[in-house]
Amino acid sequence: MIHLKINGTMREVSVDPATPLLWVLRDTLGLLGTKFGCGIAMCGACTVHVNGTPVRACSTPIAQMNGAEITTIEGLARPDGKLHPLQKAWVALDVPQCGYCQSGQIMSAAALLHHNPKPTDADIDDAMVGNICRCATYIRIRKAIHEAAVELAKGEPA
Amino acid sequence: MNTQVNISRRAILNLSAGAAGGLMLGVFVGATPKAAQAGVSTSAAFKPNAFITIMPDGHITIMSKNPEIGQGIKTSLPMIIAEELDAAWSDVEIVEAPTNEKVYGHQFAGGSLSVFMNWKPLRQVGATARTMLVEAAANEWRVPANECTTANSVVTHTPSGRQLTYAALAGKAAALPVPDAKTVALKNRSDFKLLGTRIGGVDNEKIVTGQPLFGIDKTLPGMLYAAYERCPALGGRVKSANLDQIKKMPGVKDAFVIDGNKKYPTLLRPGVAIVADTTWAAFQAKAALQVEWDETDASKDSWSAIQAQAHDLGQKPRGENVVFATKDKDVDAAFKTAAKTVKAFYHYPFVPHAPLEPQNATAWRRGDKLDIWAPTQIPGTALGMFDSLGIVFYPFFQDELGIAAENVTITPTRSGGGFGRRGWNDFLCEAAAIAARVDAPVKLQWTRADDMRHDQYRAGGFHALEGGLDDKGKLVAFRNHFITFTANGKTPVAGGGMAASEFPAQFVDTAEISQTMLPLRTPCGFWRAPGSNVFAFAIQGFIHEMATAAGRDHLEFLLSIMNDPRAPEPKGPNSLNTARAIAVTKLAAEKAGWGRKMPAGHGLGLAFYFSHAAHIAEVAEVSVDKNNKVRVHKVWVAADVGPIVNRSGAESQVQGSVIDGISTMMNLGLTIEKGRIQESNFDTYNMLRMPHAPEVEVHFIESDNPPSGLGEPALPPIAPAVANAIFAATGQRVRSMPLSLAGMTV
Ligand code: FES
Ligand code: FES
């Protein structure tokens, strides 16, 4: 039995300990926002936060997650439903095309802003290089991160 | 570029000319689908047609008819209706239409055709409703209808200033007869309020909060998860497999061999299916599978052998069949008398579509009924539009499973990217074949390796090009020997055929296009701007080479070809129009500052291409450093695609296409040996990422021409623009893709 805290709620799962966190989230817990793109930590579609750090859930065995605090895209907005500044910026700038990569993109960006609330373009490059957008919405992703950073500076908690 | 329309698209348009002309209006307007009838309290609801419902509380529902694959169609088609309806966008809820082509007309995503084909019919859908609402208000006020105007879901009697909302009028409008759609007045472009503005994607909020929308997110009670292993070489059959061992693995419910369908071999290939209680269990079992394949009839394709053969064939200026030759001219003689001859050999590899959501489908067989949910670009039959291209799959269900087409219900989900891949429904047929053997709903999930190795690929190709210049540097002779592939020995593979109208043959004094087809087993399909995405690279790069050999400025040389009096007259608003071509080419050059002094190591490159009824020119600013690192700094795009529907979506499609084109030209290509695709994932097929995405500035020239789609046509010009810029920066000519082969990196 593995115990984890997901989006603020304690969960217990009993699955094969080698199962990647991604499939536990999707198939066992029904949290479908985290996506499968490559399965080998090359695309970032499955990015979630483990104890505040962005990780690729497809390549993280559940056995390593006992006691971990996990945030997925479903848990990024505030409990009262108020969207995270990044989510707001994504909507305001109409970032998504197909949208499939975007939960992973947002989770990578959220981790970046958490540690570095005023990122430069170079910081964004470094933090986002692991996330492929096949539709190539990179221009708007960059803009939205900057825009969310401005909102944060006005006192929006990330 | 074809002077008409892109190859596949042209074939389609010719096929459906009858349908496209009158475009199923009789079908569209007046019929109310069962789905819309059911469930809504209808006492005072106004439903003038299958697309629009206006409730007495002011709630307006607009149906979105075509699959959303990231091209923004779920937002843009309803916008067209809402514009003519004069509905306030904030009153509108968009609902995905079920697959029902009798009611909604063609339902597919492909060929950048959705906006193009639906523009007028959907405007009529909206205008019909508005006309009836105005009539209801005029009756109420006992005034002439032409004294009334509409805006923001309200009818206003202009002389008196009286107003009635659509909500208040819904019940009264519902009692009126529906007018003939062809008789209702449509707006002038200058009166558009919604079209041309920036509207965010209707699902954006769901996407950024991780709501289930995609095929992979489909969940049903009691659903099982499947994986499927096919022979890595197309045409291989299962000889034996360690099924007993697999069935004992944790979570595995069943494992069985599927023979493959003989009549539809590319819709269901032979393989081993595994059904398990989670995706991971199915994947684990798939990894542990040991299959012995019978490869007697399997593909032996070899990319290295093909390349060697094509390089030999490329020595010949003329291929097996001549597709175009200037009437009454001798091309060999023209080259003999030319003052200067330029020759070049261009080539490019096979590539997969690689949408980020790997193929998947959920199927559930109950008795003689089959339900399928899938991220597909073609959930219906497209009313037969693609039959001659071999895109037919409904008869498969009868042939393989004994289920009649009318008992199959296919519900399209949002797709995590399409790019042409999901017009081929093999994943959906596999899911059906597996589910038919299981007493539960089954979600089939492909791995990334499955997706990369079992695609319908963008065909590789080779061009032996020759240009003859006179002593003034004018292009007087042109020859394009295209080496391509055939699967049936008769016709080129999908996306691998060149039309007689391919630029610039018809603009040159003496010209010839010929084709040689090599046999191929590897399946080919339509990849974002089929044909165009590679022809542009070869031809627009070569035009720059000829300009350079002539000692002329590239822009001036290109414009002089477009200005040639031989230029064919445009056959209609959707074929190449040199005035529009010249306008966008000049605009892109102007915005980029063509001719300005460049920083050391920087160059500007230009290209124009016409496809999908869109005229698009692009200029790229590129630098190359000592280590052959290529950096695309900025791209300027000028596009004439008629009026803009959704400015936000249009700009985004252009930017995405440009970066997709750069990504593909820089680094991507497949190797095929023994019929097997060697690459399997994003480690060896590494797409362009954030740090290398350039700025892309987009300019639209808007006109009253019918709008073309924008999912594809901005892609073709970028590869030649970048290649030409590399030459301008370094003097090094790029004639093959990907650039990584020439030692260049991003
Ligand atoms: S699915 Fe995890 S990084 Fe691609
Ligand atoms: S929006 Fe389609 S992959 Fe990023």
Distance A47 CA to ligand 1 centre (A): 7
Q: Is A57 found in the same domain as A21? A: yes
* Cα–Cα distance, B193 to B94 (Å, whole number): 19
Whether residues A105 and A124 share a domain: the answer is yes
Tell if the CB–CB gap between B280 and A38 is shorter than 8 Å: no
A90 contact residues in B (CB cutoff 8 A): 204, 207-208
Domain count of chain A?
Answer: 2
Domain termination site, one of A46, A75, A104? A75
Residue B39: is its pLDDT beyond 90? no
Segments in B73-212 forming alpha helices (H): 73-85, 101-104, 114-141, 166-174, 204-208
Q: Kindly report the CATH number assigned to the domain that includes residue A124.
A: 1.10.150.120
If we measure between CA atoms, which residue out of B434, B431, B123 comes closest to residue B255? B434
Q: What is the pLDDT of residue B571?
A: 86
- Residue B573: which pLDDT band, with cuts at 50, 70 and 90? confident
Question: For residue B564, what pLDDT is reported?
Answer: 87
A137 touches ligand 2 (CB under 6 Å): yes
Question: Could you tell me the residue range of the domain that residue B102 belongs to?
Answer: 7-192
Same domain membership, residue B580 and residue B640: yes
The binding-site residues of ligand 1, defined as CB within 6 angstroms of any ligand atom, are: A 36-39, 41-46, 56, 58
* Coil/strand/helix, residue A35: coil
Residue B266: both structure tokens together: 């590319």
Single residue among A40, A55, A75 that ends a domain in this structure: A75
Q: Measured between beta carbons, which residues in chain B are less than 8 angstroms from residue A134?
A: 354-356, 416-417, 419, 660, 687
Indicate whether B426 and B489 sit together in one domain.
Answer: no
Grade residue B11 by pLDDT with cuts at 50, 70 and 90.
very low
Residue B169 confidence (pLDDT): 97
For residues A63 and A117, membership in a common domain is answered with no
Is residue A108 one of the residues assigned to a domain?
yes
State how far residue B416 is from chain A, nearest Cα, in angstroms: 5
Number of domains present in the structure of chain B: 3
The reply to whether B494 and B374 lie within a common domain is no
Task: Check whether residue A46 and residue A98 sit in a common domain.
Answer: no
Phi, psi torsion values for A153, nearest 5 degrees: -60, -25
The residue ranges of DSSP E strands in B584-629, in sequence order, are 602-611, 614-624
Q: Does A131 lie in the same domain as A92?
A: yes
Centroid of ligand 2 to alpha carbon of B162 (angstroms): 47
Last residue of a domain, one of A16, A49, A75: A75
For residue A130, the chain B residues in CB contact (below 8 A) are: 689
Measured distance CA(A5)–CA(A66) in Å, rounded: 9
Kindly report the CATH number assigned to the domain that includes residue B180.
3.30.365.10
- Which candidate from A20, A32, A139 shows the least CB-CB separation from B217? A32
pLDDT of residue B1: 52
Please name which of B73, B59, B87, B199 lies closest in space to residue B152, comparing C-alpha atoms: B87
If asked whether residues B185 and B103 sit together in one domain, one would say: yes
CA B223, CA B553: separation in Å to the nearest integer?
64
B237 and B173, same structural domain? no
Domain-located, residue B187: yes
pLDDT-derived band at B6, boundaries 50, 70, 90:
very low
Chain B residues 69-98 with a CB less than 8 Å from chain A: 69-72
B451 lies in a domain?
A: no
> Do the domain assignments include residue B201?
no
Residue type present at position B47: K
Round to the nearest angstrom and report the end-to-end CA distance of chain B: 28
Distance of CA B392 to the CA centre of its chain: 18
Give me the DSSP letters along B507-532.
GSSEEEEEEEEEE--S-B---SSTTH
CA–CA separation, B35 and B720 (whole Å)? 48
**Same domain assignment for residues B509 and B602:** yes
- In angstroms and rounded to an integer, the radius of gyration of the C-alpha atoms of chain A is 15
Identify the domain containing residue A20 by its residue range: 2-75
Same domain? A146 vs A103: yes
pLDDT of B684 over the 80 cut: yes
Q: Is B339 in the pocket of ligand 2 (CB under 6 A)?
A: no
Residues B378 and B462 in one domain: no
- Quick one: pLDDT at residue A158? 53
Q: Are residues A58 and A95 in the same domain?
A: no
ipTM: 0.98
Structure tokens at B241: 């497999």
Would the pLDDT of B146 be above 60?
Answer: yes
Residue ending a domain, choose from B192, B223, B250: B192
CB contact under 8 A, A90 and B653: no
- Residue B436 sits in the same domain as residue B483: no
Q: Smallest CA–CA separation between A67 and chain B, in Å? A: 22
Q: Is the pLDDT of residue B9 over 50?
A: no
Residues A47 and A90 in one domain: no
Measured in angstroms, the CA of B523 and the nearest CA of chain A are apart by: 22
The pLDDT assigned to B60 comes to 97
Nearest to B687 among A20, A98, A134 (CB): A134
Q: What angle do CA B593, B595, B597 make, to 5 degrees?
A: 90
| HEC readout, B27-79 | HHCCCCCHHHHCCCCCCCCECCCCCEEECCCCCEEEEECCCCCCCCHHHHHHH
The two most distant CA atoms of chain A are separated, in Å, by 45
Instruction: From B415, B445, B475, give the residue that closes a domain.
Output: B445
Give tens-digit pLDDT for A13-44: 999 999 999 999 999 999 999 999 999 999 99
pLDDT at B41 over 50: no
If asked whether residues B363 and B340 sit together in one domain, one would say no
Q: Nearest CA to B418 among B114, B695, B198, B648?
A: B114
Ligand 2 pocket: which of B74, B213, B356 to mutate (most atoms <8 Å of CB)? B356
Q: So what's the pLDDT on residue B12?
A: 40
Q: Looking at the DSSP assignment, which residues form a beta bridge with residue B345?
A: B464
Judge if B366 and B504 occupy the same domain: no
Domain membership flag for residue A158: no
Residue A69 and residue A94 in one domain: no
- Distance (Å, whole) CA B128 – CA B81: 10
Cβ neighbours of A61 (radius 10 Å): 13
Examine the pLDDT at B720 and tell me if it is beyond 80: yes
| HSE toward the beta carbon, residue B429, CA cutoff 13 A | 29
pLDDT in tens, B359-395: 999 999 999 999 999 999 999 999 999 998 889 999 9
Q: Give yes or no: residues B508 and B440 share one domain.
A: no
B280-294, B296-310, B379-393, B646-660: segment of lowest average pLDDT:
B379-393
pLDDT for residue B27 is more than 90: no
| Tens digits of residue pLDDT in B616-647 | 999 999 999 999 999 999 999 999 999 999 99
Distance from CA of A98 to the nearest CA of B (A): 3
Q: What residues in B contact A73, CB-CB < 8 Å?
A: 208-210
Which residue carries 């503005």 as its tokens? B197
Same domain, B291 and B179: no
B209 located within any domain: no
* Share in percent of chain B as helix, strand, coil (round to 5): 35, 25, 45
Residue at a domain's end among B192, B226, B243: B192
Evaluate whether residue A29 is within a structural domain.
Answer: yes
- Determine what percent of chain B is predicted with pLDDT higher than 90: 91
Q: What is the pLDDT of residue B364?
A: 98
pTM of the model: 0.95
Mutant choice from B277, B690, B698, B710 vs A, greatest count of A C-beta within 10 A: B690
Q: Domain holding A42: CATH number?
A: 3.10.20.30
- Asked if residue A101 and residue A45 are part of one domain, the reply reads no
A39/B653 CB distance under 8 A:
no
Structure tokens at B174: 């519902």
Q: Which atom of ligand 2 is nearest to the CA of B356?
A: 3
**pLDDT tens digit sequence for B576-631:** 999 999 999 999 999 999 999 999 999 999 999 999 999 999 999 999 999 999 99
Query: What average pLDDT does this structure show over B59-69?
Result: 97
What's the burial of B626, exposed, middle or buried (CB within 10 Å: 0-12/13-18/19+)?
A: exposed
How far CA B463 is from CA of B5, B246, B483, B498, in Å, comes to: 21, 49, 6, 11
What percentage of residues in chain A have a pLDDT greater than 70?
Answer: 98
